[in-house]
Amino acid sequence: MKNSNLYSGEFACLEKANVDTDQIIPKQFLKSISKTGLGPYLFDAWRFLDEGFLGKKPSDRKINPDFILNKPTYSEINVLISDDNFGCGSSREHAVWALKDYGINVVIASSFGDIFFNNCFKNGVLAIKISQDQINEIFSQQRQNSQKQIEIDLINQKIKIPNIKLIDFEIDEFRKNCLLEGLDDIGFSLKYETEISNYENKLKQLRPWILNE
C-alpha cells in the first residue's frame, strides 16, 4: 500500500489527554478475527449512547450528538488531532484498524503510546508528533474559526493549516520510507536470512537453552 506524499483533507480536534486504545476501540470488538469492518465502532462508547457489539447496525444505534465526530461539520474528516499520550494502554492493533476503516489516515498529537505509534506505521497510518503549544494553537484556531482544512507534506515534513504558521515535524527516516514505499516489512526483513541464521548458529553455542532443540 504505497502512499502519496501529500495528505490533504479535513481535521477534527479531540481535546483530551491520554486517549487510550480502549476508547479508540472497546474490548468487545476485539473478538473480531478480521482486520476490516471496525470503522463503525471507532470510539464506540463516545460516539454512541447505547452499548455496542459486533454486528450491531449503525441504524439501530443512539448517536451521541455532543461527540466531535458526530457533528455534521466533521463528517468528512481524515485527520485527527489530539493531546498528550494518544493511543496509550493496550497493544490492540484493532485501534489503528478502526481508525483506518473509518477513514482517518493521519493522527497528530503531542505524544503517543509507543505500541500504538508503531502499529500506525505498520498499517500505512501517519502518526505525527508536534509540540503541545502547536497542538493548543490548532485547537484554538478550530474553536474560533471552525478551521478544518489541512495539508501534510510528508517528504518535506510540513503541516499546512490556513491562518497558522507552517508547522515542521520530525519523523524517523525509516518510518517515512515505510509509508512512502508501502514496505512489505516481513519481506524486507527476510532479505537478512543469512544474518538471522548466523545469529542462530551462534546462539546455539552461547545460550543453548533458548532454542530448546
Partner 1 sequence: MSQKTLYDKIWEEHFVVDREDGSTLMYIDRHLVHEVTSPQAFDGLRQNNLIPRQINTIIATPDHNVPTTERAKDIEGIKDPISKLQVVTLNDNCDEFGINQFKLNDERQGIVHVIGPEQGITLPGMTIVCGDSHTSTHGAFGSLAMGIGTSEVEHVLATQCLVSQKQKNMLIEIVGKLQKGVTAKDITMFIIGRIGTAGGTGHVIEYSGEAIENLSMEGRMTLCNMAIEAGARAGMVAPDEKTFDYVSDKPFAPKGKELEHAINYWKTLKTDPNASFDKIHSFSAEEILPQVTWGTSPEMVTHVDDSVPDVKEDNKTLMSALDYMGLKPGTKIKDIELDQIFIGSCTNSRIEDLRAASKILDGNKISKNIKRAIVVPGSGLVKKQAEAEGLDEIFKTAGFEWRDAGCSMCLGMNPDQLKEFERCASTSNRNFEGRQGFKGRTHLVSPTMAAAASLEGKFIDVREL
Q: Which residues bind partner 1 (CB under 8 A)?
A: 15-18, 20, 22-23, 26-28, 30-35, 45, 51, 54, 83-85, 88-93, 96, 111-115, 118-119, 122-123, 172-174, 177-178, 183, 185-190, 192, 195-196, 199-200, 203, 207-213
Smallest distance from partner 1 to CB 180, Å: 11
CA atoms of 61 and 48, how far apart (whole Å): 7
Smallest distance from partner 1 to CB 175, Å: 9
Smallest distance from partner 1 to CB 8, Å: 26
Which residues, in sequence order, are CB contacts of 70 under 8 Å at separation 6+? 47, 63, 64
Considering beta carbons, is residue 76 or 192 the nearer one to partner 1? 192
Considering beta carbons, is residue 72 or 187 the nearer one to partner 1? 187
Evaluate whether 7 touches 152 at the Cβ level (below 8 Å). Answer: yes
Considering beta carbons, is residue 8 or 32 the nearer one to partner 1? 32
* Nearest-5° Cα angle at 62, 61 to 65: 130
The H or E element that residue 175 is part of is helix 173-181
Considering beta carbons, is residue 77 or 113 the nearer one to partner 1? 113
Number of residues in the chain: 213
Smallest distance from partner 1 to CB 153, Å: 21
Considering beta carbons, is residue 63 or 196 the nearer one to partner 1? 196
Classify the phi-psi angles of 130: left when phi > 0, otherwise alpha if psi is within -120 to 50, otherwise beta: beta
C-alpha cell at 126: 501517519
Smallest distance from partner 1 to CB 95, Å: 9
Which residues, in sequence order, are CB contacts of 193 under 8 Å at separation 6+? none
